[in-house]
Amino acid sequence: MMYSRMAGTGSYLPEKVVTNADLEKTVDTTDEWIRSRTGIERRHIAADDETSSSLAEHAARRALRSAGLTVDDVDFIVVGTTTPDRIFPNTGTLLQERLGIHGCPSFALETACSGFIYALSVADKYVRLGEAKCALVVGVECLSRITDWSDRGTCVLFGDGAGAVVLTPSVEAGIINTHLHSDGRYKDLLYYPYGVSDGFDKLKAGAPAGITMQGNDVFKVAVRTLSRLVDETLAKNGIDKHQIDWLVPHQANLRIIRSAAEKLDMPMEKVIVTVQDHGNTSAASIPLALDTAVRDGRIRRGQLLLMETFGGGFTWGSALVRF
């Protein structure tokens, strides 16, 4: 049996930082409200000349360097993003071009905050089947571009960034398995209102556009769903919750992260939390958190990681990983 393993990790955050104090000056909010309801203290915002593919390029190059590999080794690229540079070509192919790679399959998938876990799941299958030997998996967002900066209910939540991993074949796990889910009945609780075949005319006419969310309803479903997801992942793998070394959750809200940790009977010292520094970076949040903890030495080779995510759609999923 062949597995894929994470041979390297990388991430990138734009230079510009917007603090809660900065937002106090532009919308009717307070640092105290944002911290106590979300755990967020600051977020990074892409510069005008940065795009999802440019953020992804930095993260991808860093992940390749940490794996001891080069762009010439890459034979598969998948990018999870909700904020593509262009409607087409897809952001995976734009990243491929930036890296100077030509010919290998490259594509992007769009499952909101679950983008990285979905991308990881797809790439894992290709590597396991022997159809890819060096897969680049990226989660990236420029959410600032679709944020309504006058809406205090959402603008305090989101940030920009990118995270990447390199998957290579291994006889030992690696990615033990992934569990993906979605349910479109919740499509109106968290969404961006304009697309191509629906609402493009309004977008062209300059209608105010921003991420739209029934925050409190999303919160309740997220907590319930993530709890079920954790049970499912543990049961399907026949492992006890105490065997997990690190929880690497999607970083949307510290209160949601805490409830997942409680479910696992896990002290917060064993949970990777970056939401205070990054805000909610959607598809980028898990690989950003992972890379942060790998680089600061907390996550080490051989440890067992549980990654779990929840986002618009709704989509949700987990990955159990022997790092």
Whether a cis peptide bond, with omega within 30° of 0, leads into 314 is yes
User: Is the sign of the CA dihedral 323, 124, 3, 64 positive or negative?
Assistant: negative
Cβ proximity to ligand UT7, 8 vs 115, nearer residue: 115
Cα gap 248→251, rounded to integer Å: 9
Residues that bind ligand UT7 (CB under 6 A): 29, 33-34, 37-38, 113, 152-153, 156, 215-216, 218-219, 222, 252-253, 256, 280, 310-311
- Residue of 113, 134, 142, 155 with catalytic role: 113
113 is catalytic: yes
58 is catalytic: no
Sheet containing 246-249, strands listed edge to edge, beginning at the edge strand earlier in sequence:
175-182, 315-322, 304-311, 246-249
Q: What is the dihedral of CA 125, 94, 278, 273, to 10 degrees?
A: 10
Closest approach of Cβ 67 to ligand UT7, in Å?
28
Cβ proximity to ligand UT7, 246 vs 316, nearer residue: 316
Give, in order, the Cα–Cα distances in Å from 81 to each of 118, 141, 197, 303, 307: 11, 6, 19, 28, 18
Give, in order, the Cα–Cα distances in Å from 192 to each of 209, 229, 269: 8, 25, 35
Kindly give the interhelix angle for 215-237 and 254-263, rounded to the nearest 10 degrees.
30
Cβ proximity to ligand UT7, 37 vs 298, nearer residue: 37
Closest approach of Cβ 124 to ligand UT7, in Å?
23
Cβ proximity to ligand UT7, 166 vs 273, nearer residue: 273
250 is catalytic: yes
Closest approach of Cβ 89 to ligand UT7, in Å?
27
Cβ proximity to ligand UT7, 64 vs 252, nearer residue: 252
Closest approach of Cβ 30 to ligand UT7, in Å?
6
Q: Are 129 and 277 in contact (CB under 8 A)?
A: no
Q: Are 133 and 127 in contact (CB under 8 A)?
A: yes
- Residue of 20, 250, 253, 278 with catalytic role: 250
Closest approach of Cβ 280 to ligand UT7, in Å?
5
Q: 311 has which bridge partners?
A: 315
Catalytic residues: 113, 250, 280
